[in-house]
Amino acid sequence: METMIREDVQALKRIQANLESCILGKTDEIALLLTAMLAGGHVLLEDVPGTGKTVLIKALAKSVRGQFRRIQCNPDLLPTDITGVSIYHPKEEVFIFRPGPIMTHILLADEINRATTKTQSALLEAMEERHVTVDGETYELPKPFLLLATQNPIDFEGTYTLPEAQLDRFMMKFSLGYPDAETETQMIVAQSVTHPLDTLEAVSGVEQILALQHQVKLVHLDEAVAAYLVAVSRATRDHPAVYLGASPRATLALVQASKAYALLQQREYVIPDDIKFLAPYVLGHRLILQAEARMEGASVSSVLQSVFQQVKVPVRWEK
């Protein structure tokens, strides 16, 4: 791998520090968000209201000088409200494309499960292909493009379950959760005068993010570690408690996430511990358990734990 660009790696530290000043006590979750951004993946944040999801996303956009748009999803939202629409201009006698909020660097789709399945499907092309098609014309999205969607796990009235095909296009799914008592005390003291977002300054730019995404591709994945990663993914398909295991797309997502996480840790190579840390967030939402297994108390977490007990770590990395 080429020598890492010191300035870009330092930019990562500054972005991380920025986010940690806004969302206290969530170091791992911030690392996951930055990992997804570096890997070019999308994130589904499933959490109860008021845990700081929107603040975290706004802080990221502000830190990298990225364009930010927010969609508040509801059953009345139409696909064209996201992608944009062609409007006829009578004077010019042509159709003019009016871009939708998806034409941005960072898009927040708030409460995505409140949008109808037809509207949710409007995001699939953008998530996978990085462009949208309106009236037969294709429009490229800005680079980088990161979709961050939220959903409330306890409010099911008026919601539409995300189909498996769309879940599979989210690189990661995780929650922020409640802070502990000490962190919550620090938070109310810090925000008693002003909100951290009000004084947050940009510490990087989208050009540096693109450069870092290129660096991710150069992170080394040893053959033995690659075989270990594939074995973990395949073991989820053969597990007796699992109805639907990790897809090949999930395997590739875990590869990219592992490389990005290694770069975040300022390493030029992936180690098995990277895979162990990321697997619950990259593979977890893609696994469907057998109904009988769920009734007997099995969970995605317990399945992945048994998978890691079953799959042998390469000798070189054994502890």
Please give the pLDDT value at position 1.
47
**Predicted TM-score of the model (pTM):** 0.91
Chain Cα centroid distance, residue 132:
20
For residues 233 and 250, give the distance between their C-alpha atoms in angstroms, rounded to a whole number: 8
pLDDT on residue 119: 85
Specify the DSSP element, H or E, that contains 161: none
Q: Which CATH number fits domain 6-200: 3.30.70.2740, 3.40.50.720, 3.40.50.300, 3.30.70.1290?
A: 3.40.50.300
Instruction: Write phi, then psi, for 38 (nearest 5 degrees).
Output: -65, -35
- State residue 156's pLDDT score: 60
pLDDT (tens digit, 9 = 90+) per residue, 32-60?
Answer: 999 999 999 999 998 878 788 888 999 99
CATH of 219-317, one of 1.10.260.40, 1.10.8.80, 2.40.50.460, 3.90.1150.10: 1.10.8.80
DSSP-assigned letter for residue 170: -
User: Nearest Cα to 2, choosing from 211, 179, 200?
Assistant: 211
* Averaged pLDDT, groups of 10, the chain, 319 residues long: 60 89 88 95 88 88 92 89 85 82 93 85 86 86 93 70 83 90 85 80 89 93 94 93 90 96 92 95 91 86 91 79
Strands (E), the chain: 43-46, 68-72, 84-89, 94-99, 106-110, 131-134, 137-140, 146-151, 172-174, 242-244, 288-289
Token duo for residue 190: 């810090």
Q: Are 8 and 212 in contact (CB under 8 A)?
A: yes
Domain borders along the chain are 6-200, 219-317
Q: Is 164 helix (H, G, I), strand (E, B) or coil?
A: helix
Q: In the prediction, which pLDDT does 155 show?
A: 63
Q: What is the pLDDT of residue 165?
A: 79
Q: What are phi and psi of 86, to 5 degrees?
A: -90, 125
CA distance 223 to 314: 10
